Amino acid sequence: MQDTILITGGAGFIGSNFILQLLGRGSSSIINLDKLTYAGNLRNLQTVTREPRYEFVHGDIADRALVRDLFERRQPRAVVHFAAESHVDRSIRGPDDFLRTNVDGTFALLEEARAYWAELPEPDKSNFRFLHVSTDEVYGSLGPTDPAFSETTAYAPNSPYAASKAASDHFVRAYHHTYGLPAVTTNCSNNYGRFQFPEKLIPLMILNARDGKPLPVYGDGQNVRDWLYVEDHCEAIAAVLARGKSGETYNIGGCNEQRNIDIVQTICDIVDEVAGRAAAPRRSLITFVKDRPGHDRRYAMNASKIQRELGWHPRETFVSGLRKTVRWYLENEDWVRDVTSGAYRDWIATHYAP
């Protein structure tokens, strides 16, 4: 078996950060299989396109013949499965793609991984890993004083996106317990950082604040999320891949619970500081809009298991990570311009109309 890792969805936000981190710190070769839907962006990986340890393959995880060929040709020692439709608002308006990619696609990938793994000799068979990257949204919503989600929290997904990810989690678990596939699952809290598509809260607010546009906040802005800097998340995934126990789940959180309104206000203050004051403080741009259906009130992650067993801890505080993120978006105008097409602006108007 070669020292090769098959990464699905590696042109997306978290996947591209993971690839860059892995190539910068390790010796593994990487195959990046990505369908390049709206959130996939090869510009994220332009610095490694000529790297001999990196190969990009344009394709769908549901294309079993393609996946089978990659397994046979490259003989990876691990799969890190990022590929997913991931935006709740999109899942509410069009759940079909979420079922196809997150459920059917994960099933197809698992089937091909199982067939490949079953034919491996020892010790390659024992050393193989299938790492499935999931979300805290599978656990549902918390009340203000409820304890944080742990790995034993019952699943209670409240959106089509969360339901599709919960289904994929269950398939991964079943393939371990039924067939013995050496699989692990990570459930992470909300990520932020460079390369995030600007439909998500933090990059959307940074760019609108920069441009003096309204800052649309759902409902009363009191929804709480646990925020995780993407590079910290990537380090956690690498730790699970290297030392995680087969069949286990690891929650990854930033230990940074923040209300949406507080995040937007902090972004306004940082943009005022970094980009210079506009005619009025950017906090004046905050606009409350109609809440989305089934909007979970609070997420919080108990990450004590990965901290205790694998020694991982986030390096960034929320504010330090947010400062890095604001600066990156303000300093990478070409990247922003490429992803904020007319179709994207139409989508924003549809979802965030007052």
Out of 137, 232, 296, 316, pick the active-site residue: 137
Out of 34, 60, 136, 169, pick the active-site residue: 136
Q: Is 333 assigned a catalytic role?
A: no
Closest CA to 314 of 145, 144, 153, 190: 190
DSSP 3: S
Q: Residue 276 burial by CB count (10 A; 0-12/13-18/19+): exposed, middle or buried?
A: exposed
Q: Which two tokens stand for residue 58?
A: 């344009």
Between CA 227 and CA 253 the distance in angstroms is: 7
C-beta of residue 2 within 8 angstroms of C-beta of residue 74: yes
Out of 54, 116, 161, 299, pick the active-site residue: 161
Residue found by looking up tokens 């068979």 in the block: 125
Q: Which two tokens stand for residue 121?
A: 């000799």
> For 106, phi and psi rounded to 5 degrees?
-65, -40
Q: Is 137 assigned a catalytic role?
A: yes
Between CA 49 and CA 249 the distance in angstroms is: 33
C-beta of residue 162 within 8 angstroms of C-beta of residue 88: yes
Provide the phi-psi class of 9: left if phi over 0, else alpha when psi is between -120 and 50, else beta. left
DSSP 122: T
Closest CA to 68 of 112, 100, 107, 13: 112
Which stretches of 276-324 are assigned E, i.e. beta strand?
286-289
Measuring CA to CA, how many Å separate 297 from each of 101, 215, 223, 276?
26, 20, 5, 34
Q: Is 96 assigned a catalytic role?
A: no
Q: Where are the alpha helices (DSSP H) in the chain?
A: 13-25, 64-74, 88-93, 96-98, 106-118, 124-127, 160-179, 201-211, 230-243, 260-275, 304-310, 318-331, 333-339, 342-351
The residues carrying an active-site annotation are 136-137, 161
